Amino acid sequence: MASRFQNKAWIASAALARGRVRLVGGDRLGFTGAATFAVTKADGTKFGKTEAGTVWLDAGRTSPYRFYQFWLNLDDADVPSHLRIMSFRSREEIEELERQTEERPQARAAQRALAEELTTLVHGADQTAAVIAASVTKPS
């Protein structure tokens, strides 16, 4: 069965949205596949499920709170590339968030924007609002 899959050539290659995706041809059974390029951190290490600190889309494996915190705690150096790959924001919005982060890194504007956007996409607006409310540090 593997030989059927190995004999098929790539039929299309396209850059889609903010990430690059290769679309591959089908086999005799009509299966089609897609592959993305690996996302890396600023230090060159791989970002993904085999790395430490994994986050999952399934709330049973990574709670919405932990999911939000993961993105909120991204290193400043990693945020620009992650925004470009994972966000639906315009180039201008991303550049403005980068500028804000450079000027006031302690405010974490880019991380907050990415955390809110991705948590809303994955877990919904209600869960995101609850997570943000729970994330606010109250003065003692």
Number of structural domains, the chain?
A: 2
54 lies in some domain:
yes
Q: Output the CA angle 47-73-71, nearest 5 degrees.
A: 60
Count of residues in the chain: 140
Tell me, yes or no, whether 32 and 45 share the same domain: no
Q: What pLDDT is attached to residue 9?
A: 32
Q: How many helices (H) and strands (E) does the chain have?
A: 6, 5
**Could you tell me if residue 30 is inside a domain?**
yes
The residue whose two tokens read 């209600």 is: 126
CB neighbourhood size of 127 (10 A): 18
Provide the H-helix boundaries in the chain.
Answer: 2-6, 64-72, 79-86, 91-103, 109-123, 125-135
Inter-residue contact 33 to 43 (CB < 8 Å): no
- Same-domain pairing of 32 and 51: no
Note the pTM of the prediction, 2 decimals. Answer: 0.68
Is residue 67 domain-shared with residue 126, that is, in the same domain?
yes
Residue 140 lies inside a defined structural domain of this protein: no
The verdict on residue 72 lying in a domain is yes
pLDDT averaged per 10 residues, the chain (length 140): 35 36 51 58 62 77 93 92 90 96 95 96 94 74
- CA dist., res. 16 & res. 51, Å (int): 26
**Per-residue model confidence (pLDDT) at position 85:** 86
Residue 27: inside a domain, yes or no? Answer: yes
Say which CATH number the domain at 55 has. Answer: 1.10.240.10
- Expressed as residue numbers, the domain containing 98 is 40-135
Q: Do 89 and 67 belong together in one domain? A: yes
Q: Does one domain contain both 76 and 17?
A: no
Residues 109 and 62 in one domain: yes
60 and 104 part of one domain = yes
Is 73 found in the same domain as 14? no
| Integer Cα distance of 9 and 5 in angstroms | 9
Indicate if 49 and 26 belong to the same structural domain. Answer: no
